[in-house]
Amino acid sequence: MRDRKSWNVPASTFAKNTFNPIRNIIENMQIVPHPDKPMIALSIGDPTVFGNLKPAPEIVEAVVEATRRGSCNGYVSSAGTEAARAAVAKYCSVEDKLELQAKDVVLCSGCSCALDMCITALCSPGQNLLVPRPGFPIYTTLAVGLGVQTKDYNLLPERSWEIDLEMLEASIDDQTAAIVVNNPSNPCGSVYSKEHLIAILEVAARNKVPIIADEIYDHFVFEGQEYHPIASLTEEVPVLSCGGLTKRFLVPGWRMGWITICDRGNVLDQEVRNGLQSLSQRIIGSNTLVQGALPTILANTPQSFFTDTLAQIQANAELSYSILREVPGMNPIMPQGAMYMMVGVDMTMFPGLKNDLELVERLISEESVFCLPGKCFDCPNYMRIVLTVPEPQLREACNRIIAFCSRHHASAHVNGLAHANGHVNGCEAESFKNVEKAMVVEVKSGSE
């Protein structure tokens, strides 16, 4: 019998090692909005929160129908029903380039779960995983808990956030279990060309390292851009691609994601396929109502729904880019897809603010505009804005960012014009006057 005199119930090492850097940073931030200004959250990567972007009726109807059918209430195979997996295989196949079958698909509870399973299936404690910087922090959250180290490779802002391929290759060592490639990207909104994806695959092939492709923003690209699933461009490199309904179909809460096993060289047949099957048994599969609706959703969602959603996001990207690029000290980088834009902040132009974190905090307290600091993506001197907000709110947010910058810019300090009260002041800096004038015209025309 165990001799315990008092209660001592520690959390497991796994639980203690698991942390989300964004949560950590946000929980320690001063988030006190200006009392007279309604908050505009340009921070939340959930396209449904503002109510302007809704799933197509066909998508909703498919789940209603699956519910009524009454045959989707029980347990199914932990990797998903044959019909749902076959539908995903068809949806993710690329004619003559990538032919997938139901056996190549594992359904998961959202793309996060798909990433979790891929990282767990490929990486053992003590190994490392290469991840993009700036990048979505969940890769590190998932890996570190398992005792897997993440090594960052840089994305290059001056090359529309392409991967620094030399750094990527130099980071690979004997313990590298996989490379995570996120395209289109959160937080950058970049969309890689076929040539760049092939160059990434060449690095992977030379070093015999598999790829985990985070393709949750598949097809989510602006007019004139083309999306290429990375697995469609290789016959050699094994790719586990993670996707789902979350973003493109505007239903993040439905928690439907998937892994497609793309492995023309049959490298993953030896162990990893079975590993993924075993791991799927830990959660006994994903939501069966959405599985029941999946064949209809993937086949019947009208193209016009995707086009309309993207047109709104692209218009917001163009609007905020064209405004913010004129603001001294701000350097937005125009995205090519997804739903985010990174905005560089030249902190030397804001001498009263310590870093991007303080800039973001003061933007909240003075203007009630909430952007995520670059620190959340391990990328100082940037902030990320989401582009899914309704257009009038985005204009208003840009307007407030201009007012904020005009108060804190070095030129305002030199002229002794920096005000602490959070209201627009009479900054004399010519550049700001021009931007503000342009904004007044824009806002008037936009509200008509």
Ligand X SMILES: Cc1ncc(COP(=O)(O)O)c(C=O)c1O
Residue 177 has φ and ψ, to the nearest 5°, of -90, -30
214 binds ligand X (CB under 6 A): yes
350 binds ligand X (CB under 6 A): no
* Shortest distance (Å) from residue 247 CB to ligand X: 7
257 binds ligand X (CB under 6 A): yes
Q: Tokens at residue 175, please?
A: 């313990």
Site size for ligand X (CB under 6 A): 13
182 binds ligand X (CB under 6 A): yes
382-403 as b/e: b if 16+ CB within 10 A: bbbbbbbbeeebbbbbbbbbbb
Q: Mark the segment that binds ligand X (CB under 6 A) among 104-112, 151-159, 328-336, 348-356.
A: 104-112
145 binds ligand X (CB under 6 A): no
Q: Give the number of other CB atoms < 10 A from CB of residue 440.
A: 10
Identify the residue among 134, 137, 229, 244 touching ligand X (CB under 6 A): 244
336 binds ligand X (CB under 6 A): no
* Shortest distance (Å) from residue 186 CB to ligand X: 3
* Shortest distance (Å) from residue 151 CB to ligand X: 18
Place of tokens 């047949």: 269
252 binds ligand X (CB under 6 A): yes
230 binds ligand X (CB under 6 A): no
Nearer to ligand X, 206 or 282 (CB): 282
Q: Mark the segment that binds ligand X (CB under 6 A) among 150-158, 159-167, 244-252, 277-285.
A: 244-252
183 binds ligand X (CB under 6 A): no
Identify the residue among 29, 40, 42, 45 touching ligand X (CB under 6 A): 45
Given the rule CB under 6 A, which residues bind ligand X?
45, 110-112, 136, 182, 186, 214, 216, 244, 246, 252, 257
